[in-house]
Chain A
Amino acid sequence: DTQMTQSPSSLSASVGDRVTITCRASQSISSYLNWYQQKPGTAPKLLIYAASSLQSGVPSRFSGSRSGTDFTLTISSLQPEDFASYYCQQSYSTPYTFGQGTKLEIK
C-alpha cells in the first residue's frame, strides 16, 4: 500500500492567514493526489484533484501543487468557513489511501 503522511495534524490560524498543508507519498503516485475538506458531522467535499486542478465551485483561494512525491494544499487567505479538517488521498494505485488529516482551527 502507498502510505500518505500528512502534516501538520493540527493547525491554528487566523482569518486572512495563508495556510499550507503538506502530504508526502511513500512512493511515486504521479499527480494522482486529491484533497478533501470535511466539516464536523458532514461528508468530505472534493477541493482539488490531480494535484492541482480545482473542482468546480471551489473558491480560487484554494490551490494545490506537487514536487515529486510531496504535495501541498494552500489556502491563500483563510475565511471563516475554511475552518475544517482536510485530507489528502492518493488515487494512483488501490487501495486509494488517505492521509491522517489536518484539523484547521481558529487561533
Chain B
Amino acid sequence: QITLKESGPTLVKPAQTLTLTCTFSGFSLSTSGVGVGWIRQPPGKALEWLGLIYWDDSKRYSPSLMSRLTITRDTSKNQVVLTMTNMDPVDTATYYCAHFLTGANYLDSWGQGTLVTVSS
C-alpha cells in the first residue's frame, strides 16, 4: 500500500522560504518509472502542477515557478523535499505530494495535503 504525507510549517511570512517534506512508504524512488509530484491548490481554486522528481533524480518544474522551486530527494529516508523561495500571500494553498508512474504518466496516490498560509 502506497502512502504519502506532507509536513512543514503551516504559516510563513512573506519573502521567507518554504520547505515541505513528503514522507512516503510502499514504493522506492529508486525504482525505474517512479516519480513524486508536487501539486498545490489555493483555497476554493483549481489544482496547479508544481513539479516532479523522477527515479533517476531528474526533475521537471513549472516554468512559471522554476526560478523559485527546488525539489530534492533522500532515498534512504523515503522523503522528497520541496523548497519554494520568496513566498507571497498568493502562494497560500494546500500543497500535495503524489506518487507518479511514467508510461501513462499519472498521479495515482496522493498525500492528504498541508495548508500553508503566507501572512505577516
Which residues of A pack against B, CB within 8 Å?
1, 32, 34, 36, 38, 42-46, 49-50, 53, 55, 87, 89, 91-92, 94-101
CA distance A94 to B52 in the complex (A): 9
Q: A99–B46 contact, CB under 8 A? A: yes
Q: A87–B47 contact, CB under 8 A? A: yes
Chain B interface size, under 10 / 10 to 19 / 20 to 34 / 35 or more? 20 to 34
Measured between beta carbons, the chain A residues less than 8 angstroms from B37 are 96
Closest Cβ–Cβ distance, residue A38 to chain B (whole Å): 8
Measured between beta carbons, the chain A residues less than 8 angstroms from B112 are 42-43
CA distance A101 to B45 in the complex (A): 9
Q: B104–A32 contact, CB under 8 A? A: yes
CA distance A34 to B110 in the complex (A): 14
- Known A96-B52, A101-B47; contact A43-B106, beta-carbon cutoff 8 A: no
- Known A43-B111, A43-B113; contact A49-B106, beta-carbon cutoff 8 A: yes
Q: Mark B86-120, 1 if CB is under 8 A from A, else 0.
A: 00000000001010000011111011110000000
- Known A94-B52, A95-B49, A95-B62; contact A53-B108, beta-carbon cutoff 8 A: no
Q: A87–B46 contact, CB under 8 A? A: yes
Q: B108–A100 contact, CB under 8 A? A: no
Q: A97–B49 contact, CB under 8 A? A: yes
B13 at the A/B interface (Cβ < 8 Å)? no
Closest Cβ–Cβ distance, residue A46 to chain B (whole Å): 5
Query: Which B residues from 59 to 97 make CB contacts under 8 A with A?
Result: 60-64, 96
B48 at the A/B interface (Cβ < 8 Å)? yes
CA distance A46 to B110 in the complex (A): 9
CA distance A1 to B37 in the complex (A): 17
Q: 11 other contacts beyond A94-B52, A98-B48, A101-B47, with CB at 8 A cut-off?
A: A42-B112, A43-B110, A44-B96, A44-B110, A46-B106, A89-B47, A91-B104, A95-B61, A95-B64, A98-B46, A100-B46
